[in-house]
Chains A and B, each alone.
Chain A
């Protein structure tokens, strides 16, 4: 974990209410895909936890949806604007169990952390299959980017305006070695009920500090209480106590 000053390189809208911001700064603490950063915003007391979409030396990409005041202010960032950012938060995905054909399942703004994951899995020689679920055509982003990485991609929309009509569970292939997922809770629970292999879930909770001090985001797991920010946000399927 490290607190650093990041400078906005670019910021643009990529779907309805969804923005992609590229920042420059010290990314040395970001170790795994699926980790997150906590961004301080002028005039708001708490920082905003946002997942890492992409990261290379000195450059960080985040994608977020405008849902309130904080993300509203972030959407207005112009090149040169500076943010204090806590980096290297959370555990991130464990790539060692992926196998040759991992399945990546993302819903809405749960898609971004899967991008760096896909990149790293491909570097390791896997061939990921990515299912991306959105409500409608105007919400879709990053399908081409995943294809460019070398993933097989299926897009679903609830209203059928693009790709397969339905939910991510309607587009899941039958043959995969392991799965990784991130998205809204109802989607995660549907994936939990439908998948037959083991896999990893990235969860979201309302957080206080983001680094394990306040116990604001603790969930009960098979291994006792765990902090989503520090012990997670990624949990193994077997740790979750969901009743489907």
Chain B
């Protein structure tokens, strides 16, 4: 019998599969399709202190083996997430959920994280210092070790639950940023967020995305994500959550062999809403095929 369990910052997951923030809403769209309690957990839609409509349309551009998005952190704001979304989620998801939080200042991050930390449904705080689609916030915090560490330290003062920092791949030295976050008290690192990209519409000769650039994700970024998971997990002592282009049970195993303790699945949910269900169902067979009895045993196994 294959053992899929992993331990993420002190909480056991029944399997390492976690739908990534921004591709799974607040869960209930997918709960119409399958019992989402089969997931390890999921990371809900990036939440900010104030409600946000997000960026102008078009926000989506198709690419070879992936998409560019520039949603711009559309969300109802932390108060409505607590008063409306979490009660709705409670009806279809009984496990601890990962709260994904973004912001435009150190104070805002600390405030929003502090509020969601008090919610019993929240198991982990995922601090998104890597959104490429907002100005004056988001990614600028995740591209500088000092700025990232400053956010982590401020958030850690406000919360009791494990803090996982989601990092941007749009940097020259991912390891230095991860180490700075670890030193500031982060309990885990998630990577990668999307890669900055763009497309041009040949008919209009203008960028496809209204905001010109957006975040590229999908199977095409998998090797980049894998490489960064390898580098970071080799340098830090805290768990690493691998994210980027994961679309199959085999991708999950590869990410874990590179050093991931758990694995987020993003883009794949958007083209196949059953993607995570199928990955979880296919994991035991893939483990058997490659002679793996327990997933926890293979973390960093390729090193």
Residue of A whose beta carbon sits closest to that of B65: A45
Interface with A: B2-10, B20-28, B91-99, B285-293, which one? B20-28
Q: Which residues of B contact A220 (CB under 8 A)?
A: 53
> Do the beta carbons of A230 and B29 come within 8 Å of each other?
yes
Report which of B29, B71, B271 forms a contact with A46, defined as CB distance below 8 A: B271
Kindly provide the distance from the CB of B273 to the nearest chain A CB, expressed in whole angstroms: 6
> Do the beta carbons of B273 and A1 come within 8 Å of each other?
yes
Kindly provide the distance from the CB of B42 to the nearest chain A CB, expressed in whole angstroms: 11
> Do the beta carbons of A214 and B271 come within 8 Å of each other?
no
Q: Say what secondary structure dominates the interface of chain B.
A: loop
Number of B residues near A (Cβ < 8 Å) is 32
Report which of B25, B66, B273 forms a contact with A3, defined as CB distance below 8 A: B273
- A99 interface residue per 8 A CB criterion: no
- A214-B71 in contact given A3-B273, A45-B271 (Cβ < 8 Å): yes
Q: Which residues of B contact A184 (CB under 8 A)?
A: none
A73 to B71, CA, bound (A): 28
- A166 interface residue per 8 A CB criterion: no
Report which of B25, B30, B218 forms a contact with A45, defined as CB distance below 8 A: B218
What interface size band does chain A fall in? 20 to 34
Report which of A3, A44, A213, A230 forms a contact with B30, defined as CB distance below 8 A: A213
- B1 interface residue per 8 A CB criterion: no
- A164 interface residue per 8 A CB criterion: no
Q: Which residues of A contact B (CB under 8 A)?
A: 1, 3, 40, 44-47, 86, 205-209, 211-220, 225, 230
A-B contact pairs, 14 of them (CB 8 A): A46-B67, A86-B273, A205-B58, A206-B58, A208-B69, A209-B270, A213-B24, A213-B25, A213-B269, A215-B59, A216-B59, A216-B60, A220-B53, A225-B54
Q: Which 4 A-B pairs have the closest CB atoms?
A: A209-B270, A216-B60, A206-B58, A208-B60
List 13 additional A-B contacts (Cβ < 8 Å) besides A206-B60, A216-B58. Answer: A44-B62, A45-B63, A46-B62, A206-B57, A213-B269, A214-B22, A214-B23, A214-B71, A214-B270, A215-B71, A216-B69, A220-B53, A225-B53
